């Protein structure tokens, strides 16, 4: 069994289309290796980002489709073959990354549910960060927590303090420091604290407040490490 037998050697599997946010934009062809690299990048960025990042639905959907294809090929392979064992481990590794990516997001949703729902309600349809499932989970989780908190404490305090949800809001610390690796040159980057302008070279590693570099993270100009 060779590598192509697991990952697929037809054009559909090795030249996958990555859809853009807008349906009118062109689809970008992507190899299986590039797809996996993008998944790992999305996972690491989500892991180290202070805020919840936009959900990488296209990447996740294509990875899951690839996993189905790989499982089908492995099902017809001799399980005593060393290559089978190697590729089975690769499948499990990819599944772990996908699960960890979603777990990172759910942890943020649980910790910052009110903040995330509030911010999401202000965004346009093209700039939403939650998937449909995450939005439902966040809403149900927040409502459940509010109901529990009401039954436990709120109903016992004066009426004029029972609607102070904003006082109970937990928000991420945007001034937390993060490490970044630049994917391209960034000229005259402004640091908000002192309005200093600096140049960032491609491949260089820096430490900044997340607040300062969030636009670069969202634009894919830098990766969090």
Tell me, letter by letter, the H, E, C secondary structure of 19-48.
CCCCCCCCCEEECHHHHHHHHHHHHHHHHH
Sequential pLDDT tens for the chain (225 residues) = 454 545 554 444 455 555 444 444 455 678 989 999 999 999 999 999 999 999 999 999 999 999 999 999 999 988 888 889 999 999 999 999 999 999 999 999 999 999 999 999 999 999 999 999 999 999 999 999 888 887 887 777 777 766 666 667 899 999 999 999 999 999 988 887 677 888 999 999 999 999 999 999 999 999 999
The per-residue pLDDT for range 207-225, each reduced to its tens digit, is 999 999 999 999 999 999 9
Same structural domain, 142 and 185: no
Same structural domain, 71 and 136: yes
Domain membership of residue 156 (yes or no) is: yes
Compute φ and ψ for 24, nearest 5 degrees. -80, -15
Cβ atoms of residues 20 and 4 within 8 Å: no
Alpha-carbon dihedral of residues 107, 113, 119, 122, nearest 10 degrees?
130
Q: In the chain, how many domains are there?
A: 2
Domain membership of residue 191 (yes or no) is: yes
Residue 187 belongs to a domain with what CATH number?
Answer: 3.40.5.60
Domain membership of residue 200 (yes or no) is: yes
Same structural domain, 163 and 189: no
User: Nearest CA to 119 among 216, 66, 53, 58?
Assistant: 53
Domain membership of residue 18 (yes or no) is: no
Cβ atoms of residues 6 and 73 within 8 Å: yes
pTM: predicted TM-score of the whole model, two decimal places: 0.84
* Structural domain that includes position 142: 32-170
Q: In the prediction, which pLDDT does 77 show?
A: 87
Same structural domain, 72 and 156: yes
Domain membership of residue 23 (yes or no) is: no
Question: Which residue has 């439902």 as its token pair?
Answer: 136
Same structural domain, 178 and 153: no
Residue 37 belongs to a domain with what CATH number?
Answer: 1.20.58.1030
């Amino acid at each position: 069994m060779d590598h192509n037998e697991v990952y697929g050697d037809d054009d559909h599997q090795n030249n996958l289309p990555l859809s853009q946010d807008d349906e009118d934009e062109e689809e970008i062809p992507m190899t299986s290796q590039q797809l996996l690299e993008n998944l790992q990048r999305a996972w690491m960025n989500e892991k180290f980002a202070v805020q919840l990042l936009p959900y990488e639905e296209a990447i996740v959907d294509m990875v899951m489709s690839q996993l189905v294809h790989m499982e089908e090929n492995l099902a017809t392979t001799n399980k005593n073959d060393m290559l089978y064992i190697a590729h089975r481990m690769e499948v499990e590794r990819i599944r772990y990354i996908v699960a960890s990516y979603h777990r990172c997001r759910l942890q943020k949703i649980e910790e910052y549910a009110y903040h995330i729902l509030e911010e999401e309600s202000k965004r346009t349809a093209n700039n939403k960060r939650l998937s449909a499932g995450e939005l439902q989970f966040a809403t149900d989780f927040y409502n459940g927590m509010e109901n529990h908190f009401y039954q436990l404490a709120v109903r016992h305090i004066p009426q004029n303090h029972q609607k102070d949800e904003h006082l109970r809001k937990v928000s991420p610390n945007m001034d937390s420091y993060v490490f970044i690796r630049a994917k391209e040159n960034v000229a005259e980057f402004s640091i908000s604290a002192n309005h200093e302008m600096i140049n960032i070279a491609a491949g260089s590693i820096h430490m900044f407040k997340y607040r300062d570099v969030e636009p670069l993270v969202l634009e894919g100009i830098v990766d969090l490490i």
